[in-house]
Structure 1
């Protein structure tokens, strides 16, 4: 949950203008306007035509600022698609209590079915990116922890939450099958070499241009560990042939897919159970995600 004080913060274009004017006056004449849809972990604003300003929306996202500034410049040359480029790091001020960032603007729109020419090609491009990310130099990279809500660690970190959600959803989803999927995830420990993962591969963090995947953004939950958490998009976005293209292209073993289903199931269950404060429209989507995860387990588990 957010820090109670953070809930009182008003993060708007006026605040961003004041921060820019006091800390980066060379950019003070540039227009500031909010980016829609707004983020959950951060609030983002367009700064002129070439930059983006991102401010953490709550205290528990603050650790991500330093991580991105340190690691994104090192990862970028190793990846086949553009990722955010930090240009400046702001400090607390103007009533805003945490560090914040200015990034280079990346062209593109967030991923949507109607914005791509070939969903299978998007799946291929994404697997190419994620394989390259897994191959990036992981020496001294950030291990799973508070900075990324333990993505890349064992899904067992969320065992208590998952088991709390299941009884709340009796009669809404097949909780017997869901427990089976969860137990399968816990029974498939990661035994490989820790690698880089993104941690939140979702439609809102993938940009497309001219019908193709053009950039990957928001590395706040990234780290070095088990890449299984990057499989969630198989059920949250891809379907049919594109899901199979993604599955084949990721080239991960059966245990990784069991953990990937576990990560996806955990998030869908707690959202549907009303444990995250997500809007009703988001809850509705999770039933389909859960059904797809359960069907995938019956087929491949």
Structure 2
């Protein structure tokens, strides 16, 4: 991501063929045993369009060609790594090929019950469960693990994004009138850049924000959307938790994580604050209320904005 990239827009336009009729036709042609199941509401993320299929499945279709690679990554890594995880996550149960006017591969996965935590975050006491899940996930990544161009890079290479977003937000107001506390923002960023660097990169979800973390009655219920999985600094997934939990919940998650992993990483706290800060600043520039809301909530939990 560069400093001149336009960020004030929502997800890219989905391929025009994606519709309920197309999904029904694809199912009838390629998975006729599932074609009679009721097709539910369509949900659109940044990369994928998702339709619930019966009680037990969902259909995932790349919305744009750039999402085909992440779908293939998700399929491969869930099969290779997922069986070793002790937290709820989707499993790919069927594969689909282009057809019926739709140009790309698609998948059927098991339905994950729960509500995303983008509008309503988890409470503090859910932090321990998330810390355990991330500790489970964060195994040392091999040299050939995928590289995520937005999240696998070191903090120093995020400076252009930080400068871009801060220039746009210096006089901006959040959805409830919040404003940035520039001195706090600058302090968090300076401390992150000055912190000791990470050790070996670990397998990371790399997109662990509230739209990809599920809750049922205030308890952690799983992690979805694994297409951006890559080798990253441990601070990446932990920093994203500021969009999922209040500050005390993040602290609990990190402490639980450290107890389980036993990792000795003197710069982890400062770096995860830097990750959370840059993600929130960039999202606050978007023209997408859901992301903007998560962004300002994270800034508040970091102490980097005035109260709403």
Partner residue, 2:92: 86
Match of 1:151 in 2: 151
Q: Which residue of 1 aligns with 2:160?
A: 160
Instruction: Note the C-alpha offset of 1:44.
Output: 0.8
Q: Would the alpha carbon gap of residues 21 and 208 (structure 1) be closer, same or farther in structure 2, given more than 3 Å must change?
A: same
Q: C-alpha root-mean-square deviation of aligned residues, in Å?
A: 3.0
Corresponding residue of 2:126: 122
Alignment of 1:2-41 (within 5 A): 6-7=13-14, 9-36=16-43, 38-41=44-47
Larger mean Cα displacement after TM superposition, 194-203 or 166-175: 166-175
Tell me if the contact between 1:152 and 1:197 (Cα under 8 Å) persists in the aligned partners. Answer: no
Distance 1:28 1:158, change over 3 A: same
Q: Does 1:134 align with 2:138?
A: yes
Q: Is residue 262 from structure 1 mapped to residue 268 from structure 2 by the alignment?
A: no
Query: In 2 relative to 1, CA 222–8 (structure 1 residues): closer, same or farther, beyond 3 Å?
Result: closer
* Runs of at least 5 residues in structure 1 that lack an aligned partner in the other structure: 297-301
8 Å contact from structure 1 (residues 42, 54) kept in 2: yes
Of 229, 238, 251 in structure 2, the residue corresponding to residue 231 of structure 1 is: 238
Instruction: Provide the C-alpha distance between the structure 1 equivalents of 2:46 and 2:161, rounded to a whole number of angstroms.
Output: 20
- In structure 2, the residue corresponding to 1:18 is in which secondary structure? helix
Mean Cα deviation higher: 175-184 or 45-54: 175-184
Residue ranges of structure 2 left out of the alignment (5+ in a row): 1-5, 173-179
| Number of positions where the alignment pairs a residue of Structure 1 with one of Structure 2 | 285
2:193 matched residue in structure 1: 186
Which of these residues, 278, 293, 296, is aligned with residue 287 of structure 1?
Answer: 296
Q: Distance in 2 between matches of 1:120 and 1:62?
A: 36
Is 2:100 the partner of 1:98? no
Residues 115 and 224 of structure 1, relative CA distance in 2, 3 Å threshold: closer
Q: TM-score w.r.t. structure 2 length?
A: 0.80
Displacement of 1:295 in angstroms is 5.2
Deviation of 1:85 after TM superposition, in Å, equals 0.6
Q: CA 1:241 to 1:272, structure 2 compared with 1: closer, same or farther past 3 Å?
A: closer
Q: Contact 1:154–1:189 (CA<8 Å) still a contact in 2?
A: no
Distance 2:214 2:297 in 1: 24
Shift of 1:176: 4.3
CA contact 1:123–1:242 (8 Å) conserved in 2: yes
Relative distance call for 1:64 and 1:277 in structure 2 (3 A) is: same
Q: Which has the higher contact order (CA 8 A, sep 6+)?
A: 2
Q: What is aligned with 2:82?
A: 76
> Aligned pair in 2 of structure 1 residues 234, 215: CA closer, same or farther (>3 Å)?
closer
Paired residues of 1:152 and 1:228 also in contact (CA < 8 A): no
1:105-143 alpha-carbon deviations (Å, 9 max, x no partner): 223333489797xx34421111111101113x6335523
Distance in 2, matches of 1:285 and 1:107, equals 22
Provide the rounded CA distance (Å) in 2 between the counterparts of 1:272 and 1:112. 14
Q: Is the 8 A contact 2:206 2:228 kept in 1?
A: yes
**Following TM superposition, by how much is the alpha carbon of 1:58 offset from its aligned partner in structure 2, in angstroms?**
2.0
Partner of residue 174, structure 1: 181
Q: Note the C-alpha offset of 1:226.
A: 1.1
Question: Aligned partners of 2:23 and 2:86: how far apart in 1?
Answer: 32
Q: CA deviation at 1:233?
A: 4.2
